[in-house]
Structure 1
Amino acid sequence: MPDAVVIGAGPNGLVAANLLADAGWSVVVLEEQPEPGGAVRHDRGVDPDFVHDLFSAFYPLAAASPVVEGLRLERYGLRWRQAPRVVAHPLTDGRCAVLGRTLGQTVTSLEGFAEGDGESWRELHRIWDRLRPDLLDALFTPFPPVKAGARLAVKLRGTGGLRLARSLVLPVRRLGEEEFREAGGRLLLAGNALHADLPPEAAGSGGYGWLMAMLGQTYGFPVPEGGSGQLIAALVRRLEERGGTVRCGQRVAEVVVRQGTAVAVRTAAGDTVDARRAVLADVSVPALYGELVAPEHLPDQLLDDLKRFQWDFGTVKVDWALDGPVPWTSPEAGQAGTVHLADGVDELTRFAAQLAMGRIPDRPFCIFGQMTTADPTRSPAGTESAWAYTHVPHSVRGDAGDEGITGVWDDDEARRMADRMERQVERFAPGFRDRIRARRVLSPPTLQAMDANLRHGAINGGTTAMHQQLFFRPVPGTGRPETAVRRLYLASAGAHPGGGVHGAPGANAACAALHGRLPGGLGGGMARAQRLLTRRDRKGEPRPVPDEW
């Protein structure tokens, strides 16, 4: 009988398993798919000579996370690579805003849009640099972040706290207008905000866009050398070295609850795996409470709140094997690992409005990845392993374009949507389609079939909007990994702090499980785990978790 059973071998599940194994627990991880990784996997399915990430690809949150840093995955084969530039946002008039690997590169790019805009970016970065250590501690530790929050409050008083707080809750459109005279800085903030499901007019989108942009400025948008699955391979190797086990092809159908306590899981094949101390679920919130745990074990209020749970938008992703580099009109875009494709903030607003109305966007905002630019091992010299994704409504009420896409997402509709995305790329890179050797389209049903947590193609574990964050995540009054069932912990992106490959939901669930078995309340296992996960040196950089923990 293992001490803990972890449901799901995505990055959060594997982080949780590693931390429990570090504490001396015996751990079994059960994964439905034939390989571990969840939404962090790669393959050669488009062309045998090209490596493509199936889902996520760039990992600024992993680079910033004290959780990931503390695991020392470089010892287990993980190597990070970076493109010469982090993010580019070209416009059809030939201008291009660039988030550089250095602050000076970004400042120079934005000064080219308007005198003073580069210095405005420098000021936003100065605030970030002052708040970064405590802000990241507050972001990645269980809610409420008491100690990090207190330190952050002290620093906020020294940086015009109320004014800064106001700025961070602004819609990103308004924040950009207040901080920058011209389009460049506004585009970098707004494009990064739409890495989540936050439109330019949403409250809090300014803070999210600022956070993602500053993460990119400090850490870049790194990628694992050889494919995203190398991150998972390192986590699995580390876990197995400590005696943990990952069993693939094992779909969990039920969490067994006795007298209000999770004691085992039952697989679809009918096998029961007992758990002596805890069950940790790296699954979506509706799957845990709507499928794995029987309703009679859950409070009525929770079941009622779940009716209001909101997913983030669906996703369509296209992978391309290209015979040559992308022929961008703006040469600066060719140096960036990530390229945002929308002709201005107004076009981003138009895209978001069409989604809100349930319509398939006619000019889809695309986040475009140039993987060979970031990691030359991904394809032969002179070629490019590329992809793009865009968002679509869950319930389609119409097509803003003229292809008549209805949302059934059969092969024909997936093809038409991919063609539409390619036309969007062509606006900024004429001749792009002539360089396509092969492509693959992943529609919302396909993404869900490959990872059940990606319900209808949602990639964030639930909306990032303010009404489902912090103590509202996943439902009001929660914000922590503990559930209504004793010894059952939510370890997925559905828990605080949400989506992104940073391991925090898994680490927080592991901390909570350790707290449950050690004496001393918050002075026991949980506090010790938090201290080890968030220790920083005098320069504010995260210190690795000691091997002996």
Structure 2
Amino acid sequence: MATPDAVVIGAGPNGLVAANILADAGWRVVVLEAAPEPGGAVRSDRGLDPDYVHDLFSAFYPLAAASPVIRDLHLERHGLRWSRAPAVVAHPLEDGRCAVLGSGVHDTAASLEAFAPGDGAAWERLYALWQRIGDDVLGCLFTPFPPVRAGLRLAARLRAAEGLRVARTMLLPARRLGEEEFSGEGARLLIAGNALHADLGPESALGGGFGWLMCMLGQAYGFPVPVGGARALTEALVRRLEARGGTLHCSRAATRVVVRGGRAVAVRTEDGVEIPARRAVLADVPAPLLYERLVGEEHLPARLRSDLRRFQWDFATVKVDWALSGPIPWRSEGARRAGTVHLAEGLDELTLFSAQIAMSQVPRVPFVIVGQMTTADPTRSPAGTESAWAYTHVPQAITGDAGQDGAGAITGKWDEREKEEIAARVEAQIERYAPGFGATVRARRVLAPPDLERLNPALVGGAVNQGTTNLHQQLLFRPVPGTGRPRTPVRGLYLASATAHPGGGVHGAPGANAARTALRALNLRGTPAP
């Protein structure tokens, strides 16, 4: 076989996007994946019940639907089909009210108007702003930092004074943005709940901007899911790559990036074989794992080694899957129609949840995000049933349990007792808004942080975003200060994982940025010697 032009480590969505872009440019590409199947955090199985499809990690893909990177790959030509629930997101309350991010802006506005007069119009104003600047915001988000072209377009669209106000809005905590824009609780909960899809609590800077972004993506694109399961997205990426001559090797773990003369020249696999890379090595691997395990300290500057010790992972995650005999019996009609349901009794409960995690305590009452997958895609389980999951967050390092004392406490061992305890809290939160939920459960699977990391080693400690979304580790601070671009201290080695800007979510931007940087470097330097 001819020497590959590039070796891509990791067949997650970013690695597969990078490989596709390089293959489109005519490069010979080999992708190495340690797991028996590709996909990283975009995988699904029938392991709980053969009649039910469950997504193992990520499930809803508004960022993929909005991403120009994914859109330009035309994955529909390779079998990908999207499906959507009748409503996007619902946030029910115990008194029966329910904030609903609907399939149309007027549907959402009507839901929020029921919480406070004027909030419907306020939502429509925010969406009108999104319609005016959304494409440029996404352009800034999905390109290397600083985003020169998209930034100039955005600046031209917004006059200086308005631009400053938009920038301030994006930096606001979710609580403050909600207070400034809305009188009622409904819209505030939608923004704060969406911010907590990452690790941005109601009082975190940037939380308002992130929550607004997720809400606007939901309003514009919905929260779509691949028909048949998350793995359908991965399968389309693989088919496209192979149609362009790329090669994928699963169950082939990389153990070392071979560096000679300050340049990455090959990748060594666990069987001792070196696979040469004539032009580049791209790593869809979290930055701390790439530098500390695959590259080695001898090839890294002292400042980078020091900065890596300050790298912050995001919250750990616990996920529970269910095979249900019927739909979840929500009190609120709005929750029955939504693919995603947020559960917390008001903004203060979200603040308390976030504060307890900040104090390294397992929260007493979890904020729960529920996915109703059959509602979103009827192929996921038999007619009249529901394939459902929920996740909540816990600290990376647990020092206490706000919900239990003594022998009943969750300590972070994550043995069967502790998994049962956290699952009981999640299910109690669902029962709070859907009495009788427990009677619909046919089967259950609990994935604690060590289980998630075992299934996908990139999710260190169950950190599904590969690093905090907080402002101090975004933009030019991601993954460490002074970066924001996919280049590394090793020539020919590019960081293509979600630890690179712009971070977590299935949008392909880190992989695309790494691939395009490698292509530009070749144009500037010429072809490296074999």
TM-score, length basis structure 1:
0.94
Aligned equivalent of 2:478: 473
Instruction: Tell me the amino acid that sits aligned with residue 360 of structure 2.
Output: G
Aligned residue in 1 for 2:91: 89
1:420, distance to aligned residue in structure 2 (A) = 1.1
State the partner residue of 1:26. Answer: 28
In the alignment, residue 513 of structure 2 is paired with which amino acid? N
Is 2:186 aligned against 1:181?
no
**Partner in structure 2 of residue 516 of structure 1:** 521
Could you say which residue in structure 2 is the equivalent of 1:539? Answer: none
| Alpha-carbon spacing, 1:300–1:158, altered in 2? closer, same or farther (3 Å) | closer
The answer to whether the 8 Å contact 1:190/1:206 transfers is yes
Residues 37-76 of structure 1: matches in 2 within 5 Å?
37-76=39-78
Aligned mates of 1:253, 1:441 — CA distance in 2:
30
Paired letter, 1:350: L
Asked if structure 2 preserves the Cα contact closer than 8 Å seen for 1:489 and 1:509, the reply is: yes
Q: Which amino acid aligns with 1:368?
A: V
Indicate which of 392, 407, 428 corresponds to 2:412: 407
Q: 2:400 aligns with which of 398, 401, 405?
A: 398
Which of 156-165 and 371-380 deviates more?
Answer: 156-165
Shift of 1:159: 7.4
AA matched with 2:224:
P
CA distance in 2 between counterparts of 1:182 and 1:112 reads 9
Of 456, 466, 472, which aligns to 1:451? 456
Counterpart check, 1:231 vs 2:233: yes
C-alpha RMSD of matched pairs (Å): 1.1
Deviations 1:261-293 (A, max 9, x none): 000011122111110000000001110111100
Secondary structure of 1:519's counterpart equals helix
Q: Does the 8 Å contact 1:360/1:400 carry over to 2?
A: yes
Name the residue aligned to 2:352.
Answer: 350
Q: In structure 2, what residue type is equivalent to 1:64?
A: A
Measured after TM superposition, the shift of residue 118 of structure 1 is: 0.4
Aligned partner of 1:170 among 169, 172, 194: 172
Hey, what's the Cα distance between the residues in 1 that align with 2:165 and 2:256?
48
CA positional deviation for 1:519: 3.3
Q: Distance in 2 between matches of 1:434 and 1:141?
A: 48
**Equivalent pairs: percent with the same residue?**
67
Give, as a single letter, the amino acid of the residue that structure 1 aligns with 2:517. Answer: A
CA–CA separation in structure 1 for the residues paired with 2:131 and 2:266: 45
Specify the alignment match of 2:81 in structure 1: 79
Moved more, 86-95 or 411-420: 411-420
Unaligned runs of 5+ in 1: 525-549
Q: How is 1:354-503 mapped onto 2 (pairs within 5 angstroms)?
A: 354-402=356-404, 403-503=408-508
Structure 1: how far apart are the matches of 2:235 and 2:41?
Answer: 13
CA contact (8 A) 1:127 1:159 kept: no
Does structure 2 conserve the Cα–Cα contact (< 8 Å) formed by 1:200 and 1:349? yes
Range moving further from structure 2, 413-422 or 9-18 = 413-422
The Cα shift of 1:223 comes to: 0.1
**More off after superposition, 39-48 vs 412-421:** 412-421
Partner of 1:144: 146
Helix, strand or coil at the partner of 2:41: coil
The code of the aligned residue for 1:510 comes to A
**Aligned residue type for 2:217:** L
The match for 1:532 is none
CA distance in 2, matches of 1:190, 1:109: 17
* 1:304 corresponds to: 306
For 1:310, give the aligned amino acid: Q
1:419 Cα deviation after fit: 1.2
The one-letter code matched in structure 1 to 2:505 is G
Q: 1:519 and 1:299 mapped to 2: Cα distance?
A: 24
What letter corresponds to residue 199 of structure 1 in structure 2?
Answer: G
The 3 A distance-change label for structure 1 pair 122 and 158 is: farther
CA distance in 1, matches of 2:450, 2:273: 28
Tell me how far apart the structure 1 counterparts of residues 165 and 239 of structure 2 sit (CA, whole Å). 47
**What amino acid sits opposite 1:121 in the alignment?**
W
The letter of the residue matching 1:512 is T
Distance 1:159 1:93 in 2: 42
1:14 aligned to 16, 32, 35, which one? 16
Cα deviation, residue 158, structure 1: 7.1
Distance across 2 between alignment mates of 1:427 and 1:55: 25
Which one of 156, 159, 163 corresponds to residue 158 of structure 2?
156
Count of paired positions? 522
Quote how far apart the aligned CAs of 1:247 are: 0.3
Per-residue deviation, residues 13-44 of structure 1 (Å, max 9, x unmatched): 00000000000000000000000000000000
1:418 partner amino acid: A
**Cα deviation 1:231-251 (Å, max 9, x = unaligned):** 000000000001101100011
Identify the residue that residue 338 of structure 2 maps to in structure 1: 336
Residues 390-409 of structure 1 show CA distances to partners (whole Å, capped at 9, x for unaligned) of: 11101101111123110111
Q: In 1, Cα distance between the equivalents of 2:103 and 2:166?
A: 25
Query: What is the SS of the residue equivalent to 2:158?
Result: helix
Q: Counterpart in 2 of 1:315?
A: 317
- Aligned mates of 1:418, 1:40 — CA distance in 2: 23
Displacement of 1:414: 1.0
Equivalences for residues 270-285 of structure 1 within 5 A:
270-285=272-287
The amino acid across from 2:358 in the alignment is A
